[in-house]
Amino acid sequence: TRTYIVTGSASGIGAATANLLKEAGNNVIGVDLRNADVEADLSTPEGRSAAVDRAVELAGGNVDAVIACAGISAPAPITVAVNFFGVADFLTALAPTLAKSSAPRAAAVSSMASLQPNSPELVEAMLAGNEEEALRIGKELADQGPQTGYLNYPSSKRALSRWVRRESISPAFAGAGIPLNAVAPGTVLSAMTRELLATPEGRAMVDENVPMPLNGHSEPEVIARLLIWLTSEENTHTTGQTIYTDGGADATLRGDDI
């Protein structure tokens, strides 16, 4: 059996991932704000390091894979703190522990929103590892109203996909034999989208921005199954990728521009 740390384990994609892994006989340590083995706030540096310490302790020091699903879509800088730093810093802190496994793996959840318009300045601040500056820019955007504030979300996912690509070939990951990838869902039926999809107007808005000609909105298990393959022993050579599991949204919107 393998030991997995799964963030965002209390809901949606993280909960589906944790459940499928457990059903297959794996040891899973869930991390979330509430209702998890490790209750921690990944929006702060203190919360992240406490979560890492407690999760490694519960794992008895042996962690085979980390799957980072925790995320939010608020039009506010906390989205940058959770979606980018709560993933990048969390995975970086766990890399040395992972490296001791015979088949270490790491994966995160990006989004097809990584392709949407974003704030390049904010993306750069995240990739520079400057959380203070990133939160300042994120707040500046939020202060201009929810529409501009929403840029926090696509910016956090663009930065995350770039970080995965850059970091995957670093000594800490490739050098330690750790494949590092992201999945990019389209629209998933979870707590994050429930309210938006509850009205015809909300659904029309979502479907215009995220067209899914193949099979429409997905259940969280669809995303979980890919995360599980990417972090399985079978995946030895796929790394640095953001894999769009989006019912054709990327193929529709980006077309030939790859």
**Chain positions contacting ligand NAD, by CB under 6 A:** 8, 10-14, 32-33, 41-43, 69-73, 82-83, 109, 111, 185, 187-188, 190-193, 220
Instruction: Please say whether the beta carbons of 189 and 156 come within 8 A.
Output: no
Q: Write the Ramachandran bin of 122: left for phi over 0, alpha for psi from -120 to 50, otherwise beta.
A: alpha
- Min separation Cβ 143 and ligand NAD, Å: 21
- Min separation Cβ 29 and ligand NAD, Å: 13
- Min separation Cβ 111 and ligand NAD, Å: 3
Instruction: Please say whether the beta carbons of 176 and 98 come within 8 A.
Output: yes
Indicate the residue among 76 and 188 with the shorter CB distance to ligand NAD: 188
> Using CA of residue 230, residue 234, residue 240, residue 241, what is the dihedral sign?
negative
- Min separation Cβ 147 and ligand NAD, Å: 18
Indicate the residue among 32 and 64 with the shorter CB distance to ligand NAD: 32
Residues 110, 115, 116, CA angle at the centre, nearest 5°? 110
Instruction: Please say whether the beta carbons of 16 and 220 come within 8 A.
Output: yes
Which residue(s) pair with 180 in the sheet? Answer: 106
Q: Tokens 């979502």 — which residue?
A: 206
- Min separation Cβ 236 and ligand NAD, Å: 25
Tokens for 21?
Answer: 């892994």
Indicate the residue among 191 and 205 with the shorter CB distance to ligand NAD: 191
Indicate the residue among 42 and 125 with the shorter CB distance to ligand NAD: 42
- Min separation Cβ 184 and ligand NAD, Å: 7
Q: CA 160, CA 111: separation in Å to the nearest integer? A: 9
Indicate the residue among 69 and 243 with the shorter CB distance to ligand NAD: 69
Q: CA 36, CA 7: separation in Å to the nearest integer? A: 9
Indicate the residue among 179 and 247 with the shorter CB distance to ligand NAD: 247
- Diameter of the chain by CA atoms? 50
